[in-house]
A and B are shown apart, each in its own frame.
Chain A
Amino acid sequence: DAMVIQNPRYQVTQFGKPVTLSCSQTLNHNVMYWYQQKSSQAPKLLFHYYDKDFNNEADTPDNFQSRRPNTSFCFLDIRSPGLGDAAMYLCATSREQGFGNEQFFGPGTRLTVL
């Protein structure tokens, strides 16, 4: 089955220790997204890639970076995690942007910062 895969499902890191979350897709979609979701809040878009074009949301902290080495993979790097970065991180893909192109989500990675 075509899908969006996130590894690991649970990640524990220490305050200030860099961490990388990974996402892969078998859908061959052009667009990949990273969202941060804190408890009982709306998923918040951090950035997205249209193919290799990187688009950063204006309020995404500099602490968050992303890489998309190829169509299938996208990584979220948190350079110096703080306690406030503990959240669920959701990866999503869509074939294109615009109406009719709904997003397909992975199961998420829950990040704990000690």
Chain B
Amino acid sequence: DQQVKQNSPSLSVQEGRISILNCDYTNSMFDYFLWYKKYPAEGPTFLISISSIKDKNEDGRFTVFLNKSAKHLSLHIVPSQPGDSAVYFCAASGDNYGQNFVFGPGTRLSVLP
């Protein structure tokens, strides 16, 4: 039973355009969310997070949007660069969930020059 879903296994975007990666969750006890980026042969690295008290968090080219009622979050990358090509994992946790993270299966983003 997947509590965190990333329904698009892969996504291709042209350089300079916007990349939108989506994530859905089922457990209403989750109240904070993170995105990680993973390059081949490396461990995931933290990218950006959002608490459920906010609906948007921005860090440079990366913005995460949270829609609590829909149990949906998205990561926007604009403009996309070839170096953004990686696997992106969505993760969820909550103080009432034991504070451990549940990860989605990842979306492989390819940014084409």
Bound state CA distance, A35 and B43, in angstroms?
11
Complex interface: chain B residues within 8 A of A107 (CB): 41-43
Over the window 35-71 of chain B, the binary record of Cβ atoms lying under 8 Å from chain A Cβ atoms (1 yes, 0 no) is 0100001111110010100000000000000000000
**Interface residues of A, CB < 8 Å — how many?**
25
Asked if residues A106 and B101 are in contact (CB atoms below 8 Å), the reply is: no
Asked whether A105 and B44 contact (CB < 8 A) given A42-B104, A45-B100, the answer is yes
CB distance from A72 to the nearest CB of B (A): 17
- Chain B interface residue bracket vs A: 20 to 34
Complex interface: chain A residues within 8 A of B34 (CB): 102
Bound state CA distance, A103 and B44, in angstroms?
9
Asked if residues A42 and B43 are in contact (CB atoms below 8 Å), the reply is: no
Complex interface: chain A residues within 8 A of B43 (CB): 4, 6, 90, 92, 105-108
Asked if residues B99 and A105 are in contact (CB atoms below 8 Å), the reply is: no
Which of chain B's residues has its CB closest to A38's CB?
Answer: B105
A98 within 8 A of B: yes
Bound state CA distance, A102 and B91, in angstroms?
10
Asked whether A98 and B95 contact (CB < 8 A) given A40-B9, A42-B103, A43-B89, the answer is yes
Bound state CA distance, A40 and B6, in angstroms?
11
Show the binding face of A for B, using Cβ within 8 Å.
Answer: 4, 6, 33, 35, 40-45, 48, 57, 90, 92, 97-100, 102-108
Show the binding face of B for A, using Cβ within 8 Å.
Answer: 2, 4, 9, 31-32, 34, 36, 41-46, 49, 51, 89, 93, 95, 99-106
